[in-house]
């Protein structure tokens, strides 16, 4: 068990470390397509981490788009009020959704299975309605447009290069927050995931740890919303459609839900393939669907999980061969051992 935890931690650390080389992208190229793809991958990954946190407790939540909207609109409202400090906007994008998650969690976290999925999906629809019905605060169907970019030390981060760096920074912060939460509470999350009833009988406060995970998921999702709003300079309800939750869930399951490396692999693969298939016009959806079916069928544990099993099986095979080919040792008296 301890060995498995060390392996999971190692893979999670790799997931975070893989984000740091992206900082070099804005300095290596000015290609707008590369910039766009990097924005999509990082924002998609941050949103996917919101799903991943909940899956660590065996809960499939559809709340990510709603918390993205809350975080994005919170940052937009702060910006419109006259403050565009990057750290302040990131704090607002994390804290406001996390605060919303406290009363919502009190209502939904006692539910399980399809009931939990259904209620969390409905929450997205209710929030969309609230956005449309509160034009004085959210701009209604027009959204909040013309937002100034985030700034740091009085310098506007408005160039394409700076906008991408902000998105990558948000991605790294979100990944570190996810790593901190999932490893600080890993024993509790794992016990709830494996057997909730047994965990509760052993004294684990299931509702408490689910609340912690739900609040963290909301905050991380809010950061994804801020990154999207900052990139587009607009907070619009169409950016946070309920069906986008399906994409984020697919990224987790295709990459693998056991470690943070899974969401990274799944997001990079599916976002890249989605962009590649988009050139095929009417066939793009079918091609994307076939890719999902193929991956889930061939690697039901996700690409990372399947890769781990193959590596373990290959290692065991090599070990058996080594033991079989090892010559028999002989004692001084001539007896074999």
What's residue 327's pLDDT?
A: 59
Lowest mean pLDDT among 49-63, 160-174, 188-202, 313-327: 313-327
Where are the chain's structural domains?
A: 2-242
Q: Count CB-CB contacts under 10 A for residue 27.
A: 9
pLDDT at 132: 92
Torsion of CA 86, 88, 91, 97, to 10 degrees: -100
Q: Which pLDDT score is estimated for 328?
A: 53
Residue 58 pLDDT > 50, yes or no? yes
Q: Are 256 and 10 in contact (CB under 8 A)?
A: no
Q: Which of 5-9, 241-245, 321-325 has the highest mean pLDDT?
A: 241-245
What pLDDT does residue 196 have? 86
DSSP 216-281: HHHHHHHHHHHHHHHHHT-B-GGGG-TTHHHHHHHHHHHH-SSSTHHHHHHHHHHHHHHHHHGGGG
Mean pLDDT of the chain: 89
Contact in structure between 149 and 163 (CB atoms under 8 Å): yes
Quote the percentage of the chain above a pLDDT of 90: 66
Asked whether residue 1 carries a pLDDT value surpassing 60, the answer given is no
What average pLDDT does the segment 240-260 reach?
91
> Structure pTM?
0.91
How confident is residue 334, by pLDDT bands cut at 50, 70 and 90?
low
State mean pLDDT over 286-297: 78
How far is Cα 205 from Cα 124, in angstroms, rounded to an integer? 28
Confidence band, pLDDT 50/70/90 cuts, at residue 337: very low
pLDDT per position as a tens digit, 4-38: 677 888 889 999 999 999 999 999 999 999 999 99
Comparing C-alpha atoms, which of 169, 206, 200, 168 is closest to residue 185?
Answer: 206
């Amino acid at each position: 068990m301890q060995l498995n935890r060390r392996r999971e931690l190692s893979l999670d650390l790799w997931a975070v470390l893989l984000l740091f080389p992206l900082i070099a992208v804005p300095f290596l190229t000015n290609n707008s397509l590369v910039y766009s793809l990097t924005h999509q991958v990082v924002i998609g990954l941050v949103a996917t981490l919101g799903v991943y946190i909940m899956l660590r407790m065996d809960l499939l939540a559809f709340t990510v788009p709603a918390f993205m909207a809350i975080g994005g609109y919170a940052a937009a409202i702060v910006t419109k009020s006259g403050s565009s400090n990057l750290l302040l906007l990131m704090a607002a994008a994390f804290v406001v959704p996390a605060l919303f998650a406290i009363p919502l969690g009190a209502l939904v976290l006692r539910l399980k299975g399809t009931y939990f999925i259904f209620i969390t999906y409905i929450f997205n629809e209710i929030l969309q309605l609230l956005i449309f019905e509160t034009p004085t605060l959210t701009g209604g169907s027009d959204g909040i447009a013309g937002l100034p970019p985030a700034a740091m030390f009085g310098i506007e981060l408005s160039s394409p290069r700076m906008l991408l760096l902000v998105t990558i920074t948000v991605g790294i912060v979100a990944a570190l927050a996810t790593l901190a939460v999932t490893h600080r509470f890993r024993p509790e999350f794992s016990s709830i995931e494996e057997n909730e009833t047994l965990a509760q009988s052993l004294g684990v406060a299931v509702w408490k740890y689910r609340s912690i995970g739900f609040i963290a998921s909301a905050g991380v999702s809010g950061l994804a919303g801020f990154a999207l709003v900052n990139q587009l300079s607009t907070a619009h309800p169409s950016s946070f459609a309920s069906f986008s939750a399906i994409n984020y869930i697919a990224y987790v399951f295709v990459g693998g839900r056991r470690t943070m490396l899974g969401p990274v692999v799944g997001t990079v693969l599916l976002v890249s393939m989605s962009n590649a298939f988009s050139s095929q016009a009417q066939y793009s959806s079918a091609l994307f669907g076939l890719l999902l079916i193929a991956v889930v069928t061939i690697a039901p544990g996700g690409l990372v999980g399947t890769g781990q099993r193959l590596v373990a099986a290959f290692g065991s095979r090599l070990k058996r061969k080594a033991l079989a080919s090892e010559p028999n040792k002989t004692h001084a008296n001539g007896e074999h051992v």
